[in-house]
Amino acid sequence: MAESVYRRCGCRDDQGKQLGTACLKLSSDPKHGTWAYYLAAGIDPKSGRRRQIRQAGFRTKQEAQKARNAAASKIDAGTYVAPSKQLYADYIDQWFERRQRTGEGLRATTADNYARYIRNDIKPTTLGRMKLTDIRRFHVNAFIDDLVSSGRGATTVRRIAAVVQGSLKAAWHDDLIDHNPGAGLKLPVVQKKKFEPWQPGQVGVYLDTASHHRLGGMFEFSMFSGLRRGEVIGLRWDDVELARRTLTIRNNRTQAGHAISEGEPKTDSGRRTLTLSDVLSDVLIRWKLAQREEAEALGELWTDTGYVFTMPDGQPLKPQYATRTFEKLRRMTNLPKMTFHGQRHESASLLLASGTDIALVSKMLGHTSVSITADIYSHLVGSADREASERAAALVPRENRNAHTLHTQGA
C-alpha cells in the first residue's frame, strides 16, 4: 500500500489552474498551504478500479500523518468508509422511505409519528444539516440536549432519539459510516406516573351519566373489559359468541393523523379470547337489540358493517370521536381527569381490588408478561395481595388462632 504526506496550496496560475504542490511559495514559506495525505488502497471489489484516498486541509504534518495512519488502519481492518457529501437530512428521508417500502413492521400510527419527528424535529436542526460521515456521538448528544432544553418531554425526546438511532444504525450496517454514533447516548429518564384510579363510587357516577348517552353501553363495556380503545371500536359481531359467552380480540382500529387503519392487535398476546361476565354479556345483548332498532328505523340508509359499536347509520366509530365523547361525559360528572385509555387501567384496578390474581389480570389485558402488569400496577397490588393472603389463611381451621400472639405477649 503506497502512502504519502505532503503540503499543497490553493494558488492558481495565469490560466486559473490550481498549482497544488508546484507552488514556489511552499518551499520558501513554511506556513504557506496546508498538509494532505494520499493512500492507495488496492482495488475496489465492486467497481474493479483502484481505490485512491486523498484528504487535505490539515494544519500540520503531524495532523495529516495521524489521520493517514487512522485511515490506513481502517483500510487494513476493512472498515474504512470514504467521506461523503450526503447530508443526514437527505439520508434519513431515504432510510424512512425504504422502511416504508420494505414493510419493516412499522404500524400506521408509528409511521405517522416517525414522519412527523423527521420533518419537524430532525431535518431542520444542525444535526440534519451535517454530512452523514461527519456525525459523531457528541453531535447526537448535543441534539438531544437541545430537545430537552426546548422543553420537550422525556418520553418524546426518547422517541425522537429512537428514530435517529435507528437510521444511524442502518447507515452503519450499510457501510455508509465506519461506526454507529447513535450508540451509548445520554437519554433523559422518564418519570413514570402512577395511575390513580377512580373510586368505585366515582365509576358508578360516570357510568350513570354515560347511560343517558347513545354510546353508554360502549363505555360500560370498556370500563369492565379492559380492552384498548382500538380493540373496543374494532370489535366485530363475528368475534363475539353470546351463546358461549366469549369474545376474541382479532382487530385493532387506530388513527394516524386523519387516516384510520386496522390490523392485528399490538402483540401476539394481544390476540386473546375472553370469557364474558354477566355484566359484559348484558351490555352486549342490550346493545345488539338497540342496534337492531336503529337499523330498522333507518331501513336502507343503515349499513351493516359488522362492527359491534357503530354510529347510528351502522358505520364504524372513529377513534377520536370515541375519545371526545368520553371526555365530554367525564366533564359532565366533574370527575378527576382520565383518558379513554384510562378505562383500561380502571378495569385492571377494579380486578386487582377485588382480589383477582395478577396473572389472570395480565392475560385479560393482553400483556406479554405478568411482569409488565406488575410494573404498571405495583402500587395497587399490595393491598390485593394482603387481602388474598388473609382470605387464604381464613380457610384453615384453627382451635386457637391467637395462641402465638398470646405466647409472645406473655414472654
- Band the pLDDT of 131: cuts 50, 70, 90: very high
The residue with cell 425522537 is 160
| Sequence letter at residue 168 | L
Give the other-Cβ count within 10 Å of 290's Cβ: 13
pLDDT at 219 over 90: yes
pLDDT band at 379 (very low <50, low <70, confident <90, very high): low
**Confidence band for 7, pLDDT divided at 50, 70 and 90:** confident
Residue 411 has pLDDT above 50, yes or no: no
**Partners of residue 328 on adjacent β-strands:** none
pTM, whole model, 2 decimals?
Answer: 0.62
Mean pLDDT, residues 66-79: 76
Q: pLDDT over 70 for what percent of the chain?
A: 87
pLDDT of 407 > 50? The answer is no
- Reported as a single tens digit per residue, the pLDDT across 327-376 is 999 999 999 999 999 999 999 888 888 888 888 888 888 888 888 887 77
79 vs 346, higher pLDDT: 346
Query: pLDDT-based confidence at 145, cuts 50/70/90?
Result: very high
Q: How far apart are CA 238 and CA 248, in angstroms?
A: 9
Contact 225, 252 (CB under 8 A): no
Give the integer Cα–Cα distance in Å for 346 and 201: 12
Contact 341, 228 (CB under 8 A): yes
Residue 216 has pLDDT above 80, yes or no: yes
- Of 325, 364, 324, which is closest to residue 347 (Cα–Cα)? 364
Average pLDDT over the chain reads 85
pLDDT at 3: 52
pLDDT of residue 138 exceeding 60, the answer is: yes
Residue ranges per domain, the chain? 3-77, 88-173, 200-391
For residues 177-193, average pLDDT: 88
The per-residue pLDDT for 402 is 56
Strand partners, 252: 263
13-22, 283-292, 402-411: which has the highest mean pLDDT?
283-292
| HEC profile of the chain | CCEEEEEEEEEECCCCCEEECCCCHHHHCCCCCEEEEEEEEEECCCCCCEEEEEEEEECCHHHHHHHHHHHHHHHHHCCCCCCCCCEHHHHHHHHHHHHHHHCCCCCHHHHHHHHHHHHHHHCCCHHHHCEHHHCCHHHHHHHHHHHHHCCCCHHHHHHHHHHHHHHHHHHHHCCCCCCCCCCCCCCCCCCCCCCCCCCHHHHHHHHHHHCCCCCHHHHHHHHHHCCCHHHHHCCEHHHEECCCCEEECCCEEEEECCEEEEECCCCHHHCCEEECCHHHHHHHHHHHHHHHHHHHHHHHHCCCCCECCECCCCCECCHHHHHHHHHHHHHHHCCCCCCCCHHHHHHHHHHHHCCCCHHHHHHHHCCCCHHHHHHHCHHHHHHHHHHHHHHHHHCCCCCCCCHHHHHHHHC
| Cβ-based neighbour number of residue 357 at 10 Å | 13
Which of 315, 338, 312 is closest to 229 using CA atoms? 338
Mean pLDDT value of segment 192-209: 88
Q: What is the pLDDT of residue 357?
A: 81
- pLDDT the model gives residue 393: 64
CATH 1.10.150.130 fits 88-173, yes or no: yes
Task: Name the class of domain 200-391.
Answer: mainly alpha
pLDDT at 276: 92
- Contact in structure between 262 and 206 (CB atoms under 8 Å): no
Q: Is the pLDDT confidence value at 296 over 90?
A: yes
For the chain, first and last CA: distance in Å? Answer: 89
Provide the pLDDT confidence category of residue 2 given band limits of 50, 70 and 90.
Answer: very low
Q: Could you identify the residue written with the cell 439520508?
A: 91
In the predicted structure, residue 193 carries a pLDDT above the cut 90: no
Q: Which amino acid is at 284?
A: L
Which pLDDT score, from 0 to 100, does residue 104 have? 63
pLDDT digits over 259-285, tens only?
888 888 877 778 899 999 999 999 999
Of residues 349, 363, 360, 357, the one with CA closest to residue 392: 357
In the predicted model, is pLDDT for residue 246 greater than 60?
yes
CB 91 within 8 A of CB 132: yes
Q: Which pLDDT score is estimated for 79?
A: 67
Q: What is the gyration radius of the CA atoms in the chain, in angstroms?
A: 33
- Which amino acid type is present at position 362? S
pLDDT at 147: 94
Q: Which has the closest alpha carbon to 178: 54, 78, 53?
A: 78
Q: Of all residues in the chain, what percent carry a pLDDT higher than 90?
A: 47
Question: pLDDT at position 408, please?
Answer: 46
Residue 102 has pLDDT above 60, yes or no: yes
Residue 92 pLDDT exceeds 90: yes
Q: What is the mean pLDDT of residues 312-321?
A: 94
